[in-house]
């Protein structure tokens, strides 16, 4: 099933998509993570809503929000072709690091930056090289700790499209401190309009992933595309690594990382900075992934960057 969250006069509400592309509200339910925490409850509540049809809204008329507010967001790197292009941006002679094949590396991103599928996206303050990143995210259902890969597969409840907007100049400057991305990834992460339960993808299984076409466009022009089964690390592997020495909990979001040709920075690394312009106010970025849906976000002006200085110097 496909679960959306829409804005109403009484606040956000969860809805299930029916066979007629109408949204049927899950009465009294606002938080997807809490439903996932109770095994089987999401399915039962959704089936009851479809039978009762207490409140039905046309998808075209709905104001859609992100389908969930993840308590944590780990963003991984799983597409080797993307990594190969990115490292060339900083060093034209670089190749994929050995560590890529040893661990499914991730950084913690900002759950407060999660926005809806059709929300406006402000440029990050002081950013010149604003970028998009097309990904798919797995959403944790059951909590777990120190999971094996086989065990972790049963802890993934479903999937959602991700467009992780990135301030590349800010990101690369701060990473000179040998710390992971922070403010460079802190402005906006758009989630697709649907949370799609794992069973919906059973017919698209391809190896340990799924045969789903992924595409991204700017102002209607296709920029890049890939298929999800080009991941080198599976989603269960990501969940298992995320749970190592700690917990994963219901609603946690595990990003696949950017697919091949799914961002400007990779194209800059392969073809030079002049190959594509950075995002500017007025640009519209559209993503789509088979079965899962997509996003459509307009870039708008940033707020002014406030001056911050150290209280002492060398």
Residue 308 falls inside a structural domain: no
The pLDDT of residue 274: 92
Q: Above 90 in pLDDT, residue 179?
A: no
CA distance 225 to 53: 38
End position of a domain, from candidates 65, 85, 100: 65
Residue 311 falls inside a structural domain: no
Residue 313 falls inside a structural domain: no
Range(s) of the domain holding residue 170: 73-300
Regarding whether 276 and 159 lie in a shared domain, the answer is: yes
Residue 305 falls inside a structural domain: no
Phi, psi of 196 (to 5 degrees): -110, 120
The pLDDT of residue 90: 86
Regarding whether 127 and 210 lie in a shared domain, the answer is: yes
Q: Which of 107, 112, 110 is nearest to 74 (CA)?
A: 107
Regarding whether 162 and 95 lie in a shared domain, the answer is: yes
What are the tokens at 249?
């909990």
Regarding whether 284 and 180 lie in a shared domain, the answer is: yes
**Residue-wise over 191-201: b if at least 16 C-beta within 10 A, else e?**
bbbbbbbbeeb
Q: pLDDT tens, 8-58? A: 999 999 999 999 999 999 999 999 999 999 999 999 999 999 999 999 999
The pLDDT of residue 257: 97
pTM beyond 0.95, yes or no: yes
Task: Work out the number of other CB atoms within 10 angstroms of the CB of residue 41.
Answer: 13
Regarding whether 223 and 134 lie in a shared domain, the answer is: yes
Regarding whether 162 and 116 lie in a shared domain, the answer is: yes
CA distance 299 to 291: 26
Q: What is the mean pLDDT of the chain?
A: 96
Q: Which of 112, 131, 111, 129 is nearest to 253 (CA)?
A: 111
Q: Above 90 in pLDDT, residue 314?
A: no
End position of a domain, from candidates 15, 47, 65: 65
The model's confidence at residue 79, banded by pLDDT at 50, 70 and 90, is very high
The whole-number average pLDDT for the span 252-281 is 97
Number of domains in the chain: 2
Residue 307 falls inside a structural domain: no
Regarding whether 122 and 21 lie in a shared domain, the answer is: no
Regarding whether 84 and 231 lie in a shared domain, the answer is: yes
């Amino acid at each position: 099933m496909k679960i959306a969250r829409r804005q109403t006069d009484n606040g956000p509400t969860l809805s299930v998509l029916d066979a007629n592309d109408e949204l049927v509200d899950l009465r009294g339910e606002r938080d997807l993570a809490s439903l996932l925490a109770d095994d089987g409850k999401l399915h039962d509540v959704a089936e009851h809503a479809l039978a009762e049809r207490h409140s039905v809204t046309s998808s075209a008329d709905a104001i859609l929000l992100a389908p969930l507010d993840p308590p944590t967001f780990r963003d991984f790197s799983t597409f080797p072709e993307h990594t190969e292009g990115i490292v060339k941006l900083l060093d034209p002679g670089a190749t994929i690091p050995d560590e890529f094949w040893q661990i499914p590396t991730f950084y913690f991103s900002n759950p407060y930056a999660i926005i809806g599928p059709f929300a406006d996206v402000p440029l990050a303050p002081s950013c010149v090289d604003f970028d998009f990143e097309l990904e798919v995210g797995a959403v944790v259902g059951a909590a777990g700790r120190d999971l094996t890969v086989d065990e972790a597969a049963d802890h993934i409840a479903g999937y959602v499209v991700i467009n992780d907007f990135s301030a590349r100049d800010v990101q690369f400057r701060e990473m000179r401190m040998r710390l992971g991305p922070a403010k460079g990834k802190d402005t906006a992460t758009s989630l697709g309009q649907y949370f799609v339960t794992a069973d919906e993808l059973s017919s698209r299984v391809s190896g340990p992933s799924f045969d789903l076409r992924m595409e991204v466009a700017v102002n209607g022009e296709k920029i890049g595309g890939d298929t999800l089964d080009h991941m080198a690390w599976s989603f269960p592997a990501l969940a298992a690594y995320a749970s190592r020495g700690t917990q994963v909990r219901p609603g946690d979001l595990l990003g696949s990382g950017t697919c091949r040709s799914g961002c400007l920075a990779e194209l800059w690394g392969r073809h030079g900075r002049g190959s594509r312009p950075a995002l500017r106010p007025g640009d519209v970025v559209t993503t789509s992934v088979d079965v899962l849906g997509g996003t459509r976000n307009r870039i708008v002006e940033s707020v002014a960057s406030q001056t911050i200085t150290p209280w002492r110097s060398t």
